[in-house]
Structure 1
């Protein structure tokens, strides 16, 4: 399992759960200094990232792109895959597709989290889930063209009323035959929704594709009350070899949050 830390390029998300907010050059340098393997990037749009410049930074600091987030499409545009407005759904698919094309240049997956949307008043749940499945299918096939998967992130009940549990998400993806979609387990959300996070990870099995390494209070692992040892054991049981990516609040500061993260990663993963 590998370590990663988040870099946010979206001004509107400065209060969000991202560690670094001072640009790619700054974030990559800080991540490399602490020994992270990769960076997870949250851009305002695909066009905001210049591939050649990012490739230079990655080579310089010996980093990889762990994943690319798409939440800015919801945060700044309110676009989602389950909007009752078909024009908005098309815009959401186009926005995420452009992110997939960007990510393909770095052999990285793209995350669908907040852009999944929610069941709107007056819309049947089955209809919203149908729109979600349709969007994920189109996007995952695009990702598959570059031999990547699409990451679907179940959010907690306060952020969406679609699918909140990671094991439920894995089961639903199987039912929909979405073979190129994997589950992103965010430990902040799972702490709210799962009675036993480790058991839920085991039930996800090979559907698990990415993990947000966060404690119960959305701070760095070790600063909350999540029992991490059983979770790491479960990840090993299912053969997970992906990233533990710190999508966390930059508290007490960005540097302290990242230092706490890498210390927890080494204690739980490297030395155990």
Structure 2
């Protein structure tokens, strides 16, 4: 099991400082939110992409990939009835696949709840078809760049599209390509009726990436969720991908969140492996 952390937590830190601290804390991966790279992340020059990759490598980190793919963008949407917007969205995602690969990553997590919400007049079946169309158009380019797109189910508090692992699995089946997979997130799975260990077991063949957090929006070990059954289920399922900390409440401070989360995860992993 490999531990990473999502870097948007480190607000106003430069890239080198982020990488150095994350590595010194004990993580081996860093996951990037494109909006932290500027207003137009696709315009990031090739030499700057190489430099970021080299800095991470020099610190002993791997760039896991990207998440929050459409955050702080305009004119992009996954489930829209507007064919021109769907085309622009597919093109943007392919541009992000280039950015991801150039940074050294191979996973892109599609969350972005506002950019997937159902528009007026679009029902769920139409929305699924529109999303599948966009993802299908992207897949050849993703395959060329060695990047996997991971669909993230989110709770009904965040979005009205793709709220369960079963919803995401259906969309993945519609796209039917090796470069699309399932992303599981603890906070999101807490909103499902099925217990998290059962969801891990049931969808293990589809799962490519995993985020850890809690219902209080903080990191693992900072809320009420017991991670023993979660890590036990991941171990039993044979999951060998990244376990990446993603939080939404930054109030304890980036350093405290990073240290507490990793320390807790290491203790739980030791327990379930004993």
Same fold (TM over 0.5): yes
Partners of 2:59 and 2:263 lie apart in 1 by: 20
Is the 8 Å Cα contact of residues 3 and 36 (structure 1) preserved in structure 2?
yes
CA apart distance, 1:227: 2.1
- The CA RMSD over aligned residues, in Å, is 1.9
CA apart distance, 1:239: 1.0
Is the 8 Å Cα contact of residues 19 and 257 (structure 1) preserved in structure 2?
no
State how 1:7-156 maps to structure 2 within 5 Å: 7-8=7-8, 18-44=9-35, 45-48=41-44, 50-71=48-69, 73-77=70-74, 79-105=76-102, 106-114=104-112, 117-156=116-155
Q: What's the counterpart of residue 211 of structure 1?
A: 210
Partners of 1:168 and 1:144 lie apart in 2 by: 23
Structure 1 residues 52-111: Cα deviation after superposition (integer angstroms, max 9, x where no partner): 21122112201001121243x343315212122222222221221111011123142112
Q: What's the counterpart of residue 255 of structure 2?
A: 255
Partners of 1:75 and 1:128 lie apart in 2 by: 21
Unaligned runs of 5+ in 2: 36-40
Where 2:204 maps in the other structure, the secondary structure is helix
The size of the alignment, in residue pairs, is 262
Partners of 1:98 and 1:203 lie apart in 2 by: 32
Where 1:131 maps in the other structure, the secondary structure is helix
Is the 8 Å Cα contact of residues 4 and 30 (structure 2) preserved in structure 1?
yes
Where 1:94 maps in the other structure, the secondary structure is helix
Q: What's the counterpart of residue 12 of structure 1?
A: none
CA apart distance, 1:42: 0.5
Is the 8 Å Cα contact of residues 106 and 146 (structure 2) preserved in structure 1?
no
**Compared CA separation, residues 70 and 217, structure 1 to 2 (3 A):** closer
Structure 1 residues 23-53: Cα deviation after superposition (integer angstroms, max 9, x where no partner): 3222111101101010000022233472121
Where 1:150 maps in the other structure, the secondary structure is strand
Is the 8 Å Cα contact of residues 215 and 223 (structure 1) preserved in structure 2?
yes
Runs of 4+ in 1 over 4 A off after TM superposition: none
Partners of 2:25 and 2:61 lie apart in 1 by: 12
Partners of 1:207 and 1:21 lie apart in 2 by: 35
Partners of 1:19 and 1:214 lie apart in 2 by: 16
Unaligned runs of 5+ in 1: 9-17
Partners of 1:43 and 1:82 lie apart in 2 by: 21
Is the 8 Å Cα contact of residues 222 and 261 (structure 2) preserved in structure 1?
no
**Compared CA separation, residues 92 and 61, structure 1 to 2 (3 A):** same
Is the 8 Å Cα contact of residues 219 and 251 (structure 1) preserved in structure 2?
no
TM-score (norm 2): 0.88
Q: What's the counterpart of residue 6 of structure 1?
A: 6
Where 1:193 maps in the other structure, the secondary structure is coil
